[in-house]
Amino acid sequence: MYQFFYDLTGNVIISTIAVAVVPLVNILIVALIGVYLERKVSAWMQDRVGPNRTGPLGLFQTVADFVKMLQKEDATSTEIDRKLYNIAPVLVFAGTFASFAAIPFSKHLIGSEIEVGLFYILAVSSFVVAGILMAGWASNNKYSLLGSMRAAAQIISYEIPTAIVVLSMVMLTGTLSLTQISEIQTAHFWNWYIFGGPGLALSKFLLIPFMIVGFIIIFISTLAEVNRTPFDIPEAESELVAGYFTEYCGTKWAMFMLAEYGNMFAVSAIVSILFFGGYQSPFGYLGNTLGVSWLIPLEQVGWFIAKGWFFIFIQMWLRWTLPRLRVDQLMSLCWKYLIPYAIVNLVIIGIISLL
Amino acid sequence: MKQYFKNTWDGIYTVLVGMRITFKHLFTPAVTIQYPEVKVKLPDRVRNRLYVNMDDCIGCDQCARACPVSCIEIETVKSVPGEDLGITSNGKKKALWVTKFDIDIAKCCYCQLCVFPCPTECIYMTDVYEFSEYDRSNFIYKFSTLDNEEVEQKKINHEKFQAEKEAQKAAVAAAKPKPEAPAQPSAN
């Protein structure tokens, strides 16, 4: 995409900004619709109506909230470490935003076509931990500190099963580039890795159960990494007020929320790229059938966003189904269940891929 | 080891059970009643805002006396002969001008004790329950149909009549000084 803008404008700065704006707009839209959808989904699951006063069907509720948030006074406590306090939300948001650089929205709509995209995303998404710890520490508040400590423990623990599953997928595909992983799963949905990947060899059918296990493990662990219920102990509102961003308000608080929803989309994107074909259409492209080649990228973007939203919906669904895990349960789930299963899964997938 | 796999299975299975339940509720219609637009039907004998039908009020003061929190204030002026105050809906002849009938609804405890003694059933509870106000003084409901001028007029009329009667009485007493007192004041 950078090359495209560079060819178009011939200016390094303009093309860089143009490339950066696309994921930013996506994050904003995800946050705007995500907050609305979260309220609506929670309401429907609890047999309520949800927001319905601001605009038709309450569609402008998030816009109204956003405007309110911008108008708020930037109230800060006197005892905070002002520098770290101000940097922290930026850092958390930067971590989320950076991970969008390597996520392919279509074959060419990708911020940076780096070869180590998967590795890069794992690296920058754990960068968020630094911001969270900083926020908790600089707030000079017991709840914030507790929340950020929990967040650090949780995110670092759950990196391991994520990384192991990603490793097994890398072993199978032989590439770290997200675009190439998506390209392998092209054509139809039975080529997706959740259905054993492309080809019709015996190994494809042997892989299916282990792919499902891998999918469940990576879904649970990425859910924990974005601090959402049932793994929301870092910001457990019933015990820690709001966790690490208790002391924040207004725009800075909004940045944490943006980062949360951006992260939700990012992990959904990774799960859909690894197991559900990423931007690939499950039924072949309309553009190919009609012979209109310019339709294909649009379809790809559409499928990618649809898949992302599908997993965001599942995350919300889980949020309004399950109660929060206790700290010890959280740790035992990770270390006693997810990691052993992930390692066994890795070994078995390795053996199958040798066949 | 067996327990370990059982735990795993239980974990996944129970989550799926929970998800099935919440998914069903996704399509259940909401139970919320959109209050200002849709209102719940009230029971038959609800006790809400008091209302006085002044056409039927005879100014008997029984409701004010029944009120346990003294939120009703009534003042009346006797009518003079020749004034037609009309009759109530159940045929009672009105004899008093009700110059003041104030209910301080902020004090009212909605006990309905004022409703039962009313001989003409003109004070009763309605089903209106939305009557919040910005100013506390607005909670004093004035039911009297007479305005201030009329009230003054009625008072003057009554005093004049009273004075005339006194004068008449005095004249009669001066004309024939009888020892026994006649049972005169029965007309009013």
**In the prediction, which pLDDT does B17 show?**
92
Across the interface, which of B8, B19, B28 has its CB nearest the CB of A321?
A: B19
- Write out the residue range of the structural domain in which residue B93 sits: 52-147
Looking at residue B59, which CATH number applies to its domain? 3.30.70.3270
Please indicate, yes or no, if residue B185 is contained in any of the structural domains: no
What mean pLDDT, rounded, does chain B reach? 83
Task: Flag if A44 and B25 touch (Cβ within 8 Å).
Answer: yes
> Given 3-state DSSP classes, what are the helix, strand and coil percentages for chain A, each rounded to the nearest 5?
75, 0, 25
Please indicate, yes or no, if residue B61 is contained in any of the structural domains: yes
Q: Which residue of B has its CA nearest to A314?
A: B19
Residues of chain B contacting A320 with CB distance shorter than 8 Å? 22
Q: What average pLDDT does this structure show over B119-134?
A: 86
Q: Model confidence at A94, in pLDDT bands (50, 70, 90)? A: confident
Q: Which residue of A has its CA nearest to B32?
A: A48
Chain A neighbours among B 13-42 (CB < 8 Å)? 15, 18-19, 21-23, 25-32, 34
Task: Note the pLDDT tens digit of each residue in A25-47.
Answer: 888 888 888 888 888 888 888 88
- In chain A, the number of structural domains is 1
Please indicate, yes or no, if residue A182 is contained in any of the structural domains: yes
- Write out the residue range of the structural domain in which residue A145 sits: 69-354
Task: Note the pLDDT tens digit of each residue in A219-230.
Answer: 888 888 888 878
- In chain B, the number of structural domains is 1
Task: Flag if B29 and A47 touch (Cβ within 8 Å).
Answer: yes
| Start-to-end CA span in chain B (Å) | 103
SS3 B131: coil
- Residue B186 scores a pLDDT above 70: no
Please indicate, yes or no, if residue A28 is contained in any of the structural domains: no
Please indicate, yes or no, if residue A261 is contained in any of the structural domains: yes
Q: Model confidence at A99, in pLDDT bands (50, 70, 90)? A: confident
Across the interface, which of A45, A49, A341 has its CB nearest the CB of B26?
A: A45
Please indicate, yes or no, if residue B45 is contained in any of the structural domains: no
Please indicate, yes or no, if residue A35 is contained in any of the structural domains: no
Residue A339 CA to residue B71 CA, distance in Å, equals: 74
Residue A49 CA to residue A57 CA, distance in Å, equals: 10
Task: Flag if B30 and A48 touch (Cβ within 8 Å).
Answer: yes
Please indicate, yes or no, if residue A57 is contained in any of the structural domains: no
| Start-to-end CA span in chain A (Å) | 38
Please indicate, yes or no, if residue A189 is contained in any of the structural domains: yes
Task: Flag if B32 and A322 touch (Cβ within 8 Å).
Answer: no
Å from B39 to nearest chain A CA? Answer: 16
- Residue A240 scores a pLDDT above 80: no
Please indicate, yes or no, if residue B141 is contained in any of the structural domains: yes
Please indicate, yes or no, if residue A208 is contained in any of the structural domains: yes
Chains A and B form CB pairs within 8 A to the count of: 42
**In the prediction, which pLDDT does B184 show?**
57
